[in-house]
Amino acid sequence: MLSDLKRFIVGQPLATAQARHERLSKSTGLAVFASDNLSSVAYASEEILRVLLLAGVGALDLASPIGFAIAGVIAIVIYSYRQTILAYPQGASDYIVAKDNIGTLAGLTAGGALLIDYTLTVAVSVSAGVAAMTSAVPMLFHHRVIICIFAIGLIALGNLRGLRESGRLFALPSYLFIAAFAALLGVGFVRYAWSGAPAPSALETAVVPLMPLGAFLVLRAFSSGAVALTGIEAVADGVTAFKPPEVRNARMVLAVLGAIMVTLFVGTTVLADLYDVVPRDEETVISQLSWQIFGGGPLYYYIQGVSMLILVLAANTAFADFPRLAYFMARDGYLPRQFGNRGDRLVFSNGVVILAVVAIALVIVFQGSTHALIPLYAVGVFTSFTLSQASMVRRWLRTRPERWAWRVAINATGAVTTGTVLLVVAATKLMDGAWIVIMLIGLLIVFFLVIRRHYDSVAHQLSLDGLEPPGPMSTIVLVLVGDLHRGVVQAIQYAQALSPAAKAVYVETDPERTRRLEERWGKWGLGSPLVVLSSPYRSLLGPLLDYIDHLRQQAPNHMITLVLPEFIPARWWQQLLHNQTALLIKGAMLFRHNVVVTDVPYHLRN
């Protein structure tokens, strides 16, 4: 029943041999890996404007130059990552790149930063997508948190069904989004050239500047806009998800992705500047812009619809990346082994589930506000960018392939650029929430190291190295008898099958009951001796433990097998009507060496 339900939701299991066929074509791959980047066009411009607005409406004109600066950073980072793909054709997470070329600590820092980043990607994208929806349908604004939760659940489900189907599901909206924004930009620029800027609204003149316009505010606006870069690393991470030739396809997708992203992001930012859009809480900048350009017609709702769709689906990049990174880290022993299990559908199900749970928690805590989540966002991304680029520099210096000096120059430019952005982001967003992420990265590193130490210690303790195969073992078999019934008789039979010398043990709480048991023992004991332990305090456990400890001392080289008769009711609730003695005994024996507890189930019919 339950497993039928799972089949219905998750789909039929796939064989390991099918893994190769689950690959992405270039066009599908672009859609899957791009959704995160492209979708940030829907909010990155707005985040720049929101910061500038603090210095008054006049400061908003700075959005365009800041947009161009960010576009420059995007270009540098894309170019750098195309190099990484060449160096790591098997796919290389920043975690692996940093670990291989700098060291464990750098790798774990990148890994922690990325795990946090992926989680925030889900929360931010879904929140922004729902904001696009509530801009168009304001009555849904109060239900935004529950809509976010529903959307995250849906994406997680899609991912539990497997990668190719996710690709298919997400290809169409990505292309619809590109078409929609191309139309917005085209019509927007043409109308501006034709009829000039609209008249300033009443709202615009009502804004009171809260702080002076200085270098700090400009840098803060830049930091906010830098969230546009998140997700670029995903393509380098997932090279093997492409159809062969993987490296070529991945590099081409990354280049095309960069070109589209820069065009849309810069275009939107400049257009918002030209149209004098002022950010507001209840309506997104894109919504205001497309309302001005298209009016309230079907094209407006189309823009809002695909923005929402791509933003909600953008979370999918993270749902592809988080479980994969968790798998790599689990394989290296830095995360619990469970993240290394592939599910029935060739997906790392545990990673998908935990990502969904944490992202939902974030959405609830931050009440589905994109704006509140943004300050936490960029620190993680730029930490892993910087570590990854610096690693590549070290790699070229060590391996010295052809044109190594040129490669060093490219990646060094990338590292310096992203490192500078990281410092700017950390400095300008520290008190807004970046401190949480910095602290969390530190805690995660400690967590990774503790886990790894445990696994190392277990491996060492279990290792057979230098040992010789042991001789045969002997076991003393006891069967615990509380009463005489079919289940007990079966357990006595079983104990005798394990060892002809099996003994029965009975804990006496009432001499009268002992007498009655002894009377029937001749017939039903099947020839086994009966050991009676007295219990003045009516405790079953105390005398039994004493007896077993006594045996362990007497025969320290024997394994003691304690057979427990247990009857299994036909329905689960009936279990509650019986004493949970077996559980108690197992708990007490768990930490005793050389004791094995064996339940012999007797199944009841109803």
Residues 509-528 that bind a second copy (CB under 8 A): 509-510, 523-524, 526
Q: Which residue has the tokens 């806009």?
A: 225
Closest CA to 539 of 489, 487, 585, 596: 585
Can you tell me which of 475, 514, 533, 547 binds a second copy, judged by CB under 8 A?
475
* Residue 511, φ and ψ in degrees, nearest 5: -55, -30
User: Cβ of residue 562: shortest distance to a second copy, in angstroms?
Assistant: 11
Total residues in contact with a second copy, by rule CB under 8 A: 73
CA distances from 362 to 144, 154, 257, 322 (A): 13, 17, 29, 16
User: Cβ of residue 414: shortest distance to a second copy, in angstroms?
Assistant: 36
| 285 vs 138: CA distance, rounded Å | 15
C-beta of residue 324 within 8 angstroms of C-beta of residue 237 = yes
User: Cβ of residue 208: shortest distance to a second copy, in angstroms?
Assistant: 43
Rule CB under 8 A: say whether 202 interacts with a second copy: no
| 213 vs 208: CA distance, rounded Å | 13
User: Cβ of residue 593: shortest distance to a second copy, in angstroms?
Assistant: 6
Q: How many angstroms from the chain centroid is the CA of residue 82?
A: 25
User: Cβ of residue 152: shortest distance to a second copy, in angstroms?
Assistant: 24
Can you tell me which of 176, 353, 451, 533 binds a second copy, judged by CB under 8 A?
451
Q: Kindly report whether the peptide bond that precedes residue 245 is cis, defined as omega within 30 degrees of 0.
A: yes
Rule CB under 8 A: say whether 21 interacts with a second copy: no
Residues 543-562 that bind a second copy (CB under 8 A): 559, 561
Task: Kindly tell me which of 142 and 605 has the beta carbon lying closer to a second copy.
Answer: 605
Q: 24 in helix, strand or coil? A: strand
Task: Kindly tell me which of 207 and 346 has the beta carbon lying closer to a second copy.
Answer: 346
Residues 308-367 that bind a second copy (CB under 8 A): 336-338, 341-342, 344
Q: What is the maximal distance between C-alpha atoms in the chain?
A: 109
Contacts of 305 by beta carbon, 8 Å cutoff, 6+ apart: 136
Task: Kindly tell me which of 90 and 579 has the beta carbon lying closer to a second copy.
Answer: 579
| 494 vs 513: CA distance, rounded Å | 24
Can you tell me which of 295, 298, 466, 469 binds a second copy, judged by CB under 8 A?
469
Rule CB under 8 A: say whether 458 interacts with a second copy: yes
User: Cβ of residue 279: shortest distance to a second copy, in angstroms?
Assistant: 45
Can you tell me which of 172, 443, 497, 501 binds a second copy, judged by CB under 8 A?
497
Residues 123-152 that bind a second copy (CB under 8 A): none
Can you tell me which of 248, 486, 513, 550 binds a second copy, judged by CB under 8 A?
486
Map 524-593 to HEC letters.
HCCCCCEEEEECCCCCCHHHHHHHHHHHHHHCCCEEEEEEEEEEECCCHHHHHHCCCHHHHHHHHHCCCC
Region of 197-205, 246-254, 382-390, 530-538 interacting with a second copy (CB under 8 A): 530-538
Can you tell me which of 103, 457, 513, 549 binds a second copy, judged by CB under 8 A?
457
Region of 211-219, 234-242, 432-440, 533-541 interacting with a second copy (CB under 8 A): 533-541
| 50 vs 288: CA distance, rounded Å | 14
Site string for a second copy, 566-605 (x = CB under 8 A): -xxx----x-xxxx----------xx-x-xxxxxxxxxxx
